[in-house]
Amino acid sequence: MMPSTSDGVILAAVAGLMSGNCMLPSKFLRSWRWENMWAVFSLVSLVVLPWGLAFCLVHNLHEIYRSLPLSAFFMPLLFGMCWGVAQILFGISVDRLGMSLTYAIVVGMGAALGTLVPMIALEKSKLHRSTVEAVVLGIVLMALGIILTTLAGRLRDNAHSVHLPPHGGKSYRALIMLAVLCGFLAPMLNYSFAFGQQIAKQSIVFGNSPALASYAVWPIGLAGGFIPNAGYAAYLILRRRSLPLFAKASPDLLLSSAMAVLWMGAFAVYGMSAAFLGNLGTSIGWALFQIFMIVAASVSGLLVGEWKHASGRAFVCLASGMSLLIVATIFLTFANRI
């Protein structure tokens, strides 16, 4: 329906805006190191907030979980753990390969796989050919937009380009494969949500609205993601002996928590947008979420002066990439109405 689709697109845009800016508070940390911030961020965003929202917004949550077989929780939890590994690999890839190349591989693969896999696996028997063609065209345009946007970032950072590993060859290829693995695992949080629809449907049976039913899925999937993220943060804290830095809590504790609120808030809103977007919500909604996230991050970069000294060619690539992402949004939105 038109109103529901429009609401879904708007919510996906809000989610992308929040996710595209969720790391911004980390630029203002004073005393904490990365692992201190990440430990608090993981705890708040992957445990405290999803469970808090679920208990507040989903009626009869305990009864819903009790009424389901254990098999209903297995796939969301497993995919959540795989996504948690992707988060760690993403940080390593950015450190070794740089932002431009990492985002080109990871976001490109994650957006495409996160859109197509749930659509094919869950809705293949209900898909019209015209719908598939529109979605594929939207994904192609999205991929081209991501490539151009990434190229713009690389041109902007050309003066401060990241040096390749000194041995090149096999070492560099290994890093590329690491980023590819990250791109393969990155959309698995969306798989967790898509394959956790049995939980959401059971939530509706117990009297919850479709828009709020998704909150019953997030605690399960994100619990899986918390395990590797918390484990990696704990490992770095012990290795770097940064545990005493937690004593200097303010304002870094608030900044880390703000990151968590923005991040979890984005995925919570995305879950609602998927409910409004109908049967293909976890496919088209994911693509729209990724598009709006990239647009929001790029616009924020412009506003805070990250493109102050960029060349004209970089701005042309950025504008072209943004235009393609907007066109891709239109295609994906209309694909849901076919």
What is the Cα–Cα distance from 249 to 62, expressed in whole angstroms?
34
Digit-coded pLDDT (tens) for 236-254: 999 999 999 999 887 999 9
What is the Cα–Cα distance from 336 to 317, expressed in whole angstroms?
29
- In this prediction the pTM is 0.72
What range does the domain containing 129 cover? 2-335
What is the per-residue pLDDT for 204?
A: 93
What would the two tokens of residue 132 be?
């598939």
Which stretches of the chain score pLDDT less than 50? 1-3, 159, 162-168
What is the per-residue pLDDT for 176?
A: 72
What is the per-residue pLDDT for 46?
A: 93
Please say whether the dihedral angle defined by the alpha carbons of residues 273, 277, 278 and 279, taken in this order, is positive or negative: negative
Contact 139, 115 (CB under 8 A): yes
Look at residue 206 and give its three-state secondary structure: coil
What is the Cα–Cα distance from 80 to 224, expressed in whole angstroms?
4
> Of 262, 198, 223, 241, which Cα lies nearest the Cα of 19?
262
Contact 65, 147 (CB under 8 A): no
Which whole-number Å values give the CA distances from 173 to 87, 105, 147, 177, 180, in the listed order? Answer: 20, 13, 20, 6, 10
Number of domains in the chain: 1
What is the per-residue pLDDT for 334?
A: 65
